[in-house]
Amino acid sequence: MLLTLAIPGSLWAGNSESEPPSAPGIRYTLAESVEQALRANPRVEAAHYALEGAGAEVGIARGRMLPSLTLSAGRTYINSISASGQVDVDYIDQHQDTLALRANQTLFAGMELLNGHQKAQLNEEMAQAEKGSVEARLILDVQTFFFDLLKARGEVSALEDALERLQAGVEAAKAFAGVRLAPYVDVLQAESDLADTRQRLSQARIEVANLRVNLNALLGLPARSPTHYEGDLRDLSMVLPWTVDQCLARAEQLRADLKVARKSLAMAEKQAKMVTGRYWPKIDLQAGYIHQERDYPDPGRSITGATIDRDYSSNYWTAGVNLEWRLFEGTRTHFEYRRASAEIGRLRAALRDTRDQVRAQVETSYQSMTEARERIDAAESGLDLASETHERAQKRFESRVGTIIELLDAQERLTRAQINLSQARADYQTALANLLYAMGERNAGLRF
């Protein structure tokens, strides 16, 4: 991938050898990287299933408020072993077939069922907020690694330019030393700086490769997938459309962590109401339809001695209201309410803590972004000066007025100025991403 960084006062363009522009593979901009991560990252998938489970809990809670309908059927055999006195026809040899359809509807349960349903709805809303929090954190991770990758490529490009300059400097130092126009120690100094730059370049290239692996993992791609991440640190969003106070207000409204904390508190309050509902009676409406048959293997005898058929079948229905009131449960309900009240207090304190942390994140991110913007201006000015200094040192060295040490110092300053500008630009973009995360704003490509 070609990464070109235009520097005021000089031209600075370099290709990272770790990502050649002609290499095959899928290319991702910052916005496309975020979209791919939201589609394929396992964290989002897990949050999605958690949301589905919370939706099912709402259905379960709703079902508890609906009537139940039960169908039962059975056959019972009775074999009499011995009997004396008046015979009870219910306990002589026979078999019974029963078919029953029963309905039950809870009319009142101390608002426990209603509060349970509302708690399940709050849990679903909290799962939705948690999914949003997971997605927001993933977006920030992708953006942070993306800017770190661009920064590392900028360092590679600067070090490649420095390596080229140092190689030319070594050859020039050897040529001057060969005709005794410069001491051989200048050659040793140049070769030492060249070896150091090669080491730094190797480390920078490894950093580029590692950052690409991390980005691939966030995007749900194989570690060695031939992906190419396209971006330019010069493309900055310098104008933020909000003041710091507006950022704080939007964070209070949009931040997913605050939504989760509020929903957790509301759920705890519903739980306390569910516990108090146990002090009230439970009233059920019950109704049923029963069909029953009895078959006796032996006929019966009337008082006159006549044979009679005792087999019979019957159909009947039942209806009634059942009241159940738990008057004493060994103080269990009392202490469950105390536990629920303590949980409410804990979550209220946690909500205040979360709000304070969010405000601190917004404030610090805003300040970091402002500081990075100032560093960009200073780094651009410093690069202009370093470029002019290097140009003058190069001319002095070529005219044999300056020394190789002077030129090497100028080259090091130029390299450091290039890296500092890349660092400042990356820090600005990262601070902006952190600010948007702290506010709860979703902005995949950091465009306004």
The answer to whether residue 33 sits within a structural domain is yes
The answer to whether residue 177 sits within a structural domain is yes
Domain total for the chain?
1
The predicted pLDDT at position 87 comes to: 56
DSSP SS3 for 72? strand
Residue range 200-233, pLDDT digits in tens: 999 999 999 999 999 999 999 998 888 899 988 8
- Tell me the pLDDT of the chain averaged across its residues: 85
293-297, 406-410, 433-437: segment of lowest average pLDDT: 293-297
Residues spanned by the domain of 148: 2-67+110-280+329-439
Alpha carbon 171 to its chain centroid, in Å, reads 54
Residue range 80-132, pLDDT digits in tens: 777 666 655 565 678 888 999 999 999 888 788 888 888 999 999 999 999 99
46 has pLDDT over 90? yes
Please give the C-alpha separations between residue 171 and each of 2, 168, 191, 196, 407, in angstroms, as whole numbers. 29, 5, 10, 17, 13
The answer to whether residue 294 sits within a structural domain is no
Euclidean distance between CA atoms 250 and 440, whole angstroms: 8
Asked if 209 contacts 18 with a C-beta cutoff of 8 angstroms, the reply is yes
Euclidean distance between CA atoms 174 and 80, whole angstroms: 121
Asked if 443 contacts 254 with a C-beta cutoff of 8 angstroms, the reply is no
312-322 as b/e, with b when 16 or more CB fall inside 10 Å? eeeeeeeeeee
The answer to whether residue 130 sits within a structural domain is yes
The answer to whether residue 119 sits within a structural domain is yes
CATH number at residue 135: 1.20.1600.10
The answer to whether residue 122 sits within a structural domain is yes
Residue range 155-172, pLDDT digits in tens: 999 999 889 888 887 887
Q: Enter the DSSP assignment of 296.
A: -
The answer to whether residue 231 sits within a structural domain is yes
Which residues have CB under 8 Å from 445's CB, separation 6+?
29, 30, 31, 34
User: Mean pLDDT throughout 250-279?
Assistant: 90
User: Mean pLDDT throughout 227-256?
Assistant: 86
Asked if 38 contacts 138 with a C-beta cutoff of 8 angstroms, the reply is yes
User: Mean pLDDT throughout 53-65?
Assistant: 92
